[in-house]
Structure 1
Amino acid sequence: MSKVSKVFYISVIISILFIIWGVIPDTILPNGNLDAVTTKIQTYIVDKFGWFYLISATLFLVFSLYLIFSKYGGIKLGKPNDKPEYSYITWFAMLFSAGMGIGLVFWGAAEPLSHFHNPPYGEAVTSDAAKTAMQYSFFHWGFHPWAVYATIALALAYFKFRKQSSGLVSGVLVPLFGERGINVWGTVVDFIVVFATVFGVATSLGFGAIQISGGLSFVFGIDQTFLFQLLIILIVTVLYMLSASTGLNKGIKYLSNSNIVLAVALMLFLLFLGPTTFILNFFTTSFGNYIQNLPNMSFRMTPFNEDNTDWIKGWTIFYWAWWIAWAPFVGTFIARVSRGRTIREFVLGVLLVPTIFGALWFSVFGGSAIHLEFFGGKDIMGYINDLGEEAALFAVLENFPLGTIMSIIAVLLISTFFITSADSATFVLGMQTTGGRLDPPNTVKLIWGIIQSSAAAVLLWQGGLNALQTASIIAAFPFTIIMLLVVLSLLKSFKQEVKEMEQRRKT
């Protein structure tokens, strides 16, 4: 344990204090428990700075697109002779599994259906509402979130593998503030990174347990009790800690490839057993609408319509904050597996492949759900209202041939995504709290694994997962400012490197 940094001790202590705070009921701390306090802070940030999230997320997308076509695109994330460590398929699988795999399974049917019944504008449950629902689902899971991930991941990979920096977010800011400035502020920056990662992933573990238990309940009739969900968390914890102990090239690599196989199999099953022509037509027109309306959606605020403002706050701004809160974790992991790729290759891969796959996913699952309601007279939304969003996927699958088999595949997919996300997070937390080590000790990863699972279990028991999610998203506000500084630091470093390369060529 002598190899850990002071960020490790600070983060562990504050994480434990937050978990304790999260289980204190209202009766002991009226209006002062974790849920009440974080909700007030988050509401204030969203009300006052929603515009800031929208502009910042769009700036990260513009920056990513600029890099593709800029003179910096040929710079390699590593030394000139470095080759990519992983094949394209494995690379896409790993970044996708860490990035948002479990979220797509959870929201694939539920989000388009929710927007169909409660659209951002216009009349609900109409053909126009269906098109808008799919367009906004693409928007929330498309270019913007992956641009957020690409920005921080690119910075970490560039400074770690090309400049031999520490691999920490604080190290990326050295060109702006110098070593002396980072010695002062670096611990604060790295703590924000760890804080957002711990609570963001712990929240996902809790929601993942809810969806696995919901799927097993839907398929096999098992009661959704807390003890059953606790057993799921316990089993998954053991599995992801075993995977984490084997390192990147075994556990995470094999599980990520398995995730892609299961996800593609499930998607193809429903695509060909469901309304195939409708789904493909819906995908084509929705993707066109998404690209066409991307600038408008990117800056859409509704200062004259309070109802529409509430929708934007509850969905778009919430998502942008959530992706930024997850960016330190996902960005660090993507950076670690991207050594040897050029900047252009990296940004194209991170932006395009997950966005197109995500759009196909929403078209298949969300399109099937909307088709069942619009043409089939089914009430899938009723299942969501009665059983929660976790039931949406299984409520859709039961209406098609081989529905039980597809539901079992879905439960397996959720489980493997669950394990991969937690596995990746323990690796990232280990790296961020040991000074940027590429092979953090298993002891450190074990401690973070126990903290994440304990937080998920305790707050699931107390009903405090939403408070934990809100706490993580609050960390997104200062991290957004850090990411804007990261962009400036990158541009300064790129400019200096190109200048040096030109001087060497002249010499």
Structure 2
Amino acid sequence: MKKLSKTFYITIGLIILAAGYGALQPESFETVTTTIKSFVASSFGWYYMLLMTFMLILSIFFIFSPYGKIRLGKDTDRPQFSTITWISMLFSAGMGIGLVFYGAAEPLSHYAIDPATAEPNTATAFKESLRQSFFHWGFHVWAMYGVVALSLAFFQFRKDEPALISATLKPIFGRKMEGPWGILVDVLAVFATAFGVSTSLGFGAVQINAGLNYLFGVTIGIVPQVIIIAIVTVLFLASAWSGLSKGIKYLSNTNLILALALLGFVVLLGPTLLIFDMFTDSFGGYLANIVQMSLRTAPLNTTNREWLETWTIFYWAWWISWAPFVSMFIARVSRGRTIKEFITAVLVAPTLLGAIWFSAFGSTAIDIQKRGIADLAQASTELTIFEMFHSMPLPTIISIIAVILIACFFITSADSATFVLGMLSTNGSMTPPNKVKLVWGITLSVIAIILLSVNGLTALQNTIIIAALPFSFVILLMIGSLLMGLKKEVKQTKTKK
């Protein structure tokens, strides 16, 4: 454990304070964080909308700019992983478990419960529900992840800097990033990552518990959820111990196969023609309305503004808070690819997969709701997908695949997180010691268990969203630093010629 940095000890201290507050005073913790979160959403909504739109524009610029030919690494470097494995890693670490959790529930909510602008249970609400789901999980999110990951990968592999968020800011601040200011930036990144993944573990345990309840009658409650987290912890620590090229690689490929199998079942056993029609029409609507959706703040409509704060602005803050973890992981597995190849794949592949996923699961759930087969809108979020399967052929088989897939995504996300946290807390080591990953793995699981036991996941989610605001300023500095570095790189290349 000699490689541990000050970042590790400071962050562990902050985690103990925050988790302790949440455990001992759960109601106070939730009240305080909800108040601050509401203030951030209402006061900085315009900022989040502009920031995420800027990320998308910048990503498109990188694809077509002269910078696109620059390789993330030395000129002789080539990718470590095949394209399929690489994309499966992006999908698994980025938002795989979220797609299973919200794949049916979010479009259904936008259709039957809380549409963005349309009347509930109408054809307009149906189309809008899918467009909004594509928007919340699509180009903007992956543009943000891609730009942050690009900055990390460029400085790590092209400039031989350590794998730290603070290292990307050296072109602007120089050696100051090796002192207290750099530690502050890295502590913020580690804090957001640790709590973000802990929240995801908690939600994952709740949904696995719901699936086991549906399949085998397992009681829904804290005891089975703790057992689920304990079992998954052992599995993801075993995977983390085996290293990036074995554990995460094989799990990610398994995830992709299972996800495609589950998707195939839903497409074939659900309203197949409707799914393809809705995907085509809604994705076209998404592209046609993307500018208006990107900049909509509804300043003169209180109801629409509240919807935006609850959904879009919440999502933008949520994804930004996940940027240190997801982008760091994406950067780590992308060495050897050109900027054009990197940004294009990160932007397009997960967005298309997500759109197809929401079209299949969302259209199926809404069709069941419309035809009165089941009232899925009354089901809890974690149960929606299983109630949907119950109304389809072969419900047990599909549900078993779904539970296994959730567990695999669960393990992969936690595995990836321990790897990233290990990097960030060992001065940017590309191969963090197994003992450090073990400490982080246990820490993540303990946080999830503590907060599940006191119903503190909502407050924890609020905390992460609050942390997204200061980190968004770090992202802007990373972009400025990246542009400086790329400009200098092109100039040096021309000089050599």
For normalisation by structure 1, the TM-score amounts to 0.97
Give 1:96's aligned amino acid.
Answer: F
Consecutive unaligned residues of structure 1, counting only runs of 5 or more, are none
1:325 aligns with 2:318: no
Once the 2 structures are TM-superposed, how far is the Cα of residue 24 of structure 1 from its aligned partner?
1.3
Cα distance in 1, alignment partners of residues 411 and 8 from structure 2: 23
- 2:359 & 2:382 partners in 1: Cα distance? 18
1:378 CA displacement: 2.9
Name the amino acid aligned to 1:180: K
1:499 aligned partner: 491
Q: Does 1:49 align with 2:44?
A: yes
Distance 1:62 1:169 in 2: 22
The answer to whether 1:442 aligns with 2:442 is no
Pairwise CA distance, 1:377: 4.5
Contact in 1 for aligned 2:92/2:255 (Cα 8 Å) = yes
1:406 shift after superposition: 0.3
| 1:107 counterpart = 2:102 | yes
- Which residue pairs with 1:127 in the alignment? 123
Q: Name the CA distance, whole Å, in 2 between partners of 1:102 and 1:217.
A: 19
Q: Hey, what's the Cα distance between the residues in 1 that align with 2:178 and 2:6?
A: 14
- For residues 477 and 118 of structure 2, the distance between their equivalents in structure 1, rounded to whole angstroms, comes to 39
CA–CA separation in structure 2 for the residues paired with 1:34 and 1:400: 41
**Which of 355, 361, 381 is residue 357 of structure 2 equivalent to?**
361
| Residues 1:378 and 1:181: Cα distance change in structure 2 (over 3 Å) | closer
Q: CA RMSD in A?
A: 1.0
Report the CA distance between 1:183 and its aligned residue: 2.4
Alignment partners' CA distance in 1, 2:391 and 2:237: 37
Contact 1:41 1:474 in 2 (8 A): yes
Alpha-carbon deviation of 1:375? 3.4
Shift of 1:399: 1.2
Conserved in 1, the CA contact under 8 Å of 2:85 and 2:252?
A: yes
Residues 294-443 of structure 1 aligned to structure 2 (within 5 Å): 294-382=290-378, 384=379, 388-443=380-435
2:70 equivalent to 1:64? no
Asked whether the 8 Å contact 2:156–2:162 carries over to 1, the reply is yes
> Aligned-pair distance for 1:105?
0.2
- Whichever residue aligns with residue 418 of structure 1, its letter is F
Asked if the contact 1:198/1:452 (under 8 Å) is kept, the reply is yes
Give the whole-Å Cα distance in 2 for the aligned partners of 1:58 and 1:247.
36
Q: Is the 8 A contact 1:173 1:182 kept in 2?
A: no
Alignment of 1:205-244 (within 5 A): 205-244=201-240
How many equivalent pairs are there? 496
Superposition map of 1:150-189 within 5 A: 150-180=146-176, 182-189=178-185
Give the aligned residue type for 1:366.
G
Q: Does 1:35 align with 2:30?
A: yes
Q: Which residue of 2 aligns with 1:3?
A: 3
Give distance in 1, aligned partners of 2:139 and 2:201.
25
Q: Secondary structure at the match of 2:69?
A: coil
Structure 1 residue identity aligned to 2:123: S
Corresponding residue of 1:98: 93
Supply the distance in 1 between the matched residues of 2:177 and 2:80 (Cα, whole angstroms). Answer: 34
Give percent identity, aligned residues only: 53
Structure 2 Cα separation of the partners of residues 217 and 322 of structure 1: 29
Distance in 1 (alpha carbons) for counterparts of 2:163 and 2:153:
7
- Distance, in Å, in 2 between the alignment partners of 1:58 and 1:264 is 30
Residues 406-431 of structure 1: CA distance to partner in whole angstroms, max 9, x if unpaired? 00000000000000000000000000
Amino acid at match of 1:277: L
In structure 2, the CA distance between the partners of 1:111 and 1:163, relative to structure 1 (3 Å rule), is same
1:17 matched to which residue of 2?
17
What's the counterpart of residue 144 of structure 1?
140
Question: AA paired with 1:198?
Answer: A
- The answer to whether structure 1 residue 78 and structure 2 residue 70 are counterparts is no
Query: SS state of the match for residue 503, structure 1?
Result: helix
Query: Per-residue CA shift, 1:90-140, capped at 9, x if unaligned?
Result: 000111100000000000000000000211112110000000000000000
Mean CA deviation greater in 160-169 or 373-382: 373-382
CA distance in 2, matches of 1:300, 1:455: 36
The SS at the match of 2:73 is coil
* Partner Cα separation in structure 2 for residue 379 and residue 35 of structure 1: 31
